[in-house]
A and B are shown apart, each in its own frame.
Chain A
Amino acid sequence: GESVGLHLPTLSVQEGDNSIINCAYSNSASDYFIWYKQESGKGPQFIIDIRSNMDKRQGQRVTVLLNKTVKHLSLQIAATQPGDSAVYFCAENPMDSNYQLIWGAGTKLIIKP
C-alpha cells in the first residue's frame, strides 16, 4: 500500500569518494535488474542493467554487483561528483511478468563538497 511521507533512505558521500548504493530485491525468480537515476522533478534515467546469469557488470564510472544467494544488488559509483546527486532506484523483472518491473523505494544520494 501507499506510505505518504515515507522518508527515503539517504546516503551522504564526500565528493570524489566512491558511493555504494544497496538494494534487496524480493523475487528469487527475477532474472533482470536495472538501476535508474532520478533527479529532482525529472523522470528516471537508465544507468545500467544486469541479467541473472552475471555477477558483475561495469559501465562508465558505475558497476553493478548481483548476489543471487542473498538477493542483493548494489550500484557502485566511482569518484562521486555533484551531478550524481539524485534518487537511485533498483528495479527487478520477475520471470513470469515480461512487461512489468518491480521498483524499490529508492535511495537519495547526497554529495558533500
Chain B
Amino acid sequence: DGGITQSPKYLFRKEGQNVTLSCEQNLNHDAMYWYRQDPGQGLRLIYYSQIVNDFQKGDIAEGYSVSREKKESFPLTVTSAQKNPTAFYLCASSILAGVTDTQYFGPGTRLTVL
C-alpha cells in the first residue's frame, strides 16, 4: 500500500457521534486526499490538501472535516451532519498536487453506522 497507513480497518459508530479516521504517509508526499467509495461505485473526492495547513473541499465535503497540521498526517472527521456515512474511506497521497502525479492509496477504513 505504498507507505500509507489508515486506521482502524473497521469502525463502527452510533448515529449522532463524530468519528475520526487516521491517515499517515511516510513517502514525503506533499499532497494528500480523502475519497469515499460506496458499493458498486467509483471513488468520490471529499477533501484534498496540497501542502501543510492548507486543504480544499472536493465534490462531497458536506458533513466532513479535515486538518493538515503535519506533512505526514491528514485525519478525516466524519461528523454527525453527514447523513449517510456508512462507506469505505480511502486516503491517498501524491508527490505533488497535480492529478497527473500518481496517487498512492492506503488500505482503507470501512465505516459502519449502527
Contacts and interface: CB of A to CB of B under 8 A. Distances in A.
Interface of A: 2-8, 32, 41-46, 49, 89, 91, 93, 97-106
Nearest to A102: B42
Nearest to A100: B45
Contacts of A89: 42-43
Interface in B23-38: 38
A3 B39 CA distance: 8
Q: Tell me whether chain B's interface is mostly helix, strand or loop, or mixed.
A: loop
Interface stretch (B13-21, B68-76, B98-106): B98-106
B45 A101 contact: yes
19 contacts: A2-B38, A5-B40, A7-B40, A32-B99, A41-B108, A43-B1, A43-B105, A43-B106, A43-B108, A46-B102, A49-B102, A98-B98, A99-B98, A100-B59, A100-B99, A103-B43, A105-B40, A105-B42, A106-B41
Contacts of B97: 99
Given A41-B108, A43-B90, A43-B108, 17 more contacts: A2-B41, A2-B84, A5-B40, A6-B40, A8-B40, A42-B1, A43-B1, A49-B100, A93-B99, A93-B100, A98-B98, A99-B50, A100-B45, A100-B58, A101-B45, A101-B103, A105-B42
A18 B102 CA distance: 26
Which size bracket describes the interface of B in this complex? Answer: 20 to 34
Nearest to B98: A98
A101 B40 CA distance: 17
B85 to A, nearest CB: 12
A7 B100 CA distance: 30
